[in-house]
Amino acid sequence: MPETNKQQARSVACATFTIERTYPATPEQVYQALTDPVAKAKWFARGDGLTVLAREIDVRVGGRELVKGRWASGVISTFDAVYHDVVVNERLIYSYELHLDDRKISVSLATFELSKSGSQTKLKLTEQGAFLDGYEDAGAREHGSNFLLDALGASLN
């Protein structure tokens, strides 16, 4: 019998990174920028050539966040998250899948920790990523996370 469905080679490459930022804002303001739909839309999933197709956010344990967008190239990216731990003004932990078109490229665990530092807020992001089936991240996720945290800071001003 001829083989009609060739099995795709499966692989997982794991990476962990931590990024810290200090923002001239209160923990309450930073938390709001991370969790409020209007505030988060000012800095998350924005970019030249990106048309947002869907944006939903429900920050509570078991709640979901979804952002889907089409890039100028036609590629559709989908961020699909589930919140596992929510401590208001202090901590958020969620896992998320990232898809490009119909291909799941990664599954990650993201932990945001907020702490007061004088009149400012220290944010610590730790992300543990599993990059799937030959997807070569080459540090792009960490670079993108740095970009997003810079955009978060700009949105607080």
Which residue in 127, 128, 124, 104 sits closest to 116, CA to CA? 124
pLDDT in tens, 57-98: 999 999 999 999 999 999 999 999 999 999 999 999 999 999
Instruction: DSSP letter for 3, please.
Output: -
Share of the chain above pLDDT 90, in %: 85
Placement of tokens 């740095």 in the chain: 146
Report pLDDT for 1.
Answer: 45
d(CA 113, CA 91): 5
Q: Is the pLDDT of residue 3 over 70?
A: no
Report pLDDT for 141.
Answer: 92
Domain range annotation of the chain: 13-156
Residue 71 and residue 77 in contact, taking contact as beta carbons nearer than 8 Å: yes
Fold adopted by 13-156:
Alpha-D-Glucose-1,6-Bisphosphate; Chain A, domain 4 (3.30.530)
Report pLDDT for 134.
Answer: 86
- HSE-up (13 A, CA, CB side) for residue 71: 10
pTM: 0.90
Q: Is the pLDDT of residue 5 over 70?
A: no
d(CA 109, CA 129): 7
